[in-house]
Structure 1
Amino acid sequence: MLSPVSRDDLPEIHRLHADPAVWRHLPSGRHRTLLRTREMVEAYIDDWRHGVGYWTARLRSSGDYVGIGGCRLREATAWNIYYRIDPAYQGRGFATEIARAGMGAATHIDPDIPISAILLEHNLASKAVAEKLGLRLAWRGPDEGNPDPDAVRLIYTDRDVTPEQLDVLRS
């Protein structure tokens, strides 16, 4: 069950984003304060002005929280897919399902805007999801700002992108 992220989801979203197990591929991304998560949730709520954004995902059968994900517009340049799944539900296809729903919604709103997924090379599960979605590698390079100087960022897209679009996705 997917519903637009709301302020009511803040406790669950914070628990997820504060969980070190969720951030093993990017430990510096872990949320250490509720304020950080609250600011993120507000931005995600604001994204819906474009007609799509990130959803809170719950099991239909029980209402249990699965995670967050969907598609948001980056600087009117590209849709960006995102998914963060509770460790108890990882490996069951939820990330792919949520991302596919986001791609469908974004394409319905504006099919001329490319869809992207930005991930770290060593995150093999995210890479597999991007490839299952039919995205292809558009760029590989250093992950600027990552405390790990050896981190490599990958950008996958559903089509060729311009250098300007790629600059936005790399920022």
Structure 2
Amino acid sequence: MTRWRHVRTERLWLDEPADGDAAALFTIHHDPASWRHFPAGRVTDPAAGTTMVGASRRRFDRDGLAYWSVRDAEDGPVIGRGGCALPDEAIEADVTGRGWWNLYYRLDQRVLGRGYATEMGQAAIRAAREVSPERPVLAYLLEHNVASRRTAERLGMRLAWRGADAGNADADAVRLVFLDREPDDVLVAALAVEGMAAAGLVG
């Protein structure tokens, strides 16, 4: 399965993460500004970059698709991480038996506002629909993260579920689930599973 390991869009190079990407991936995920909507999600372990590289590699091998390292110049520095992946937790929690693609995007704060998340997301959804079209694409985000919500909406995704964010230290936090399709009753039931917030599917 090699087709989606390296993707070129109009402005972006989307690649299976390489060992040399680990430091940049950690730096992006360690930046407090990247987590102002969900401070508890900030990555603090420097080994996390290496873990991200390994996780993507394993999922590309297993599922044919995973999160990419994002660049906006050929052989340029990593400016983000994103794409669609099939998290282990989603497979275990999903009562539909299909699992779901989790759409994720996190970019270096210095490149925000350029539309890169939308451009990357379009490629990710296209890839997910080719690799495993029966699996819905899910974007899981906090209601007060307006920029992330707008990205999901620009991608043509629709709000399918809204509820309390179980496990969030902020008792008033509201979690939104966007989907790339009209959900059936079984999928709606799966989205309402209380353990989803603890599954790490945050954006």
Q: TM-score, normalised by structure 1?
A: 0.92
**Partner AA of 1:80 in structure 2:** N
Structure-1 residue corresponding to 2:32: 20
Structure-2 residue corresponding to 1:58: 71
Tell me if structure 2 keeps the 8 A contact 1:155–1:169: no
Q: In 1, distance between residues paired with 2:127 and 2:50?
A: 25
Greater alpha carbon shift after TM alignment, 3-12 vs 89-98: 3-12
Deviation of 1:169 after TM superposition, in Å, equals 5.2
Deviation of 1:146 after TM superposition, in Å, equals 1.4
**Partner AA of 2:118 in structure 1:** T
Structure-2 residue corresponding to 1:91: 113
Greater strand percent: which structure? 1
Structure-1 residue corresponding to 2:23: 11
Segments of 5+ residues of structure 1 without an aligned counterpart are: none
Structure-2 residue corresponding to 1:68: 81
Tell me if structure 2 keeps the 8 A contact 1:2–1:55: yes
Q: Residue deviations 1:118-154, cap 9 Å, x none?
A: 0000000000000001111111111111111111100
**Partner AA of 2:65 in structure 1:** V
SS in 2 for 1:33: coil
SS in 1 for 2:79: strand
SS in 1 for 2:15: strand
SS in 2 for 1:102: helix
Identity within the alignment, %: 43
Q: Residue deviations 1:37-84, cap 9 Å, x none?
A: 433432232211200111101112561322110000131411110000
Tell me if structure 1 keeps the 8 A contact 2:22–2:52: no
Segments of 5+ residues of structure 2 without an aligned counterpart are: 1-12, 92-97
Structure-2 residue corresponding to 1:125: 147
Q: In 2, distance between residues paired with 1:39 and 1:59?
A: 23
Tell me if structure 1 keeps the 8 A contact 2:159–2:178: yes
Q: CA RMSD in A?
A: 1.8
Residues 118 and 66 of structure 1: CA distance in aligned 2, closer, same or farther (over 3 Å): same
Deviation of 1:163 after TM superposition, in Å, equals 3.7
Q: TM-score, normalised by structure 2?
A: 0.78
SS in 2 for 1:5: coil
